Amino acid sequence: MSYIPKSTCYRVTPQRRIVLEELKKVCTHPTAQEVYELVQKQDKSVSLATVYRSLDFLVEQELVIKLKARGKQARYDADLTQHCHLVCKKCGRVSDCFDVEKLKIDSKEIGKLGFCPCLDYLEIPGLCRECCGC
User: Can you give the binding site for a second copy, defined by CB under 8 A?
Assistant: 68-70, 86, 88-89, 95, 97-106, 108-110, 113-119, 121-129, 132, 134
Q: Which is nearer to a second copy, 12 or 127 (CB)?
A: 127
From candidates 73, 95, 121, 122, binder to DNA by CB under 7 A: 73
- How far apart (Å, rounded) are the C-alpha atoms in residues 113 and 117? 11
Could you tell me the sign of the dihedral formed by the alpha carbons of 36, 52, 81, 98, in that order?
positive
DSSP β-bridge partners for residue 77: 65
How are beta strands 84-88 and 65-67 bridged, if at all?
A: unpaired
Q: Alpha-carbon Rg of the chain, whole angstroms? A: 17
The site that binds DNA (CB under 7 A) totals a number of residues, namely 23
Per CB under 7 A, does 60 bind DNA?
Answer: no
- Residues forming contacts to DNA in the complex (CB under 7 A) are 9-11, 13-16, 31-33, 45-50, 52-54, 56, 72-74
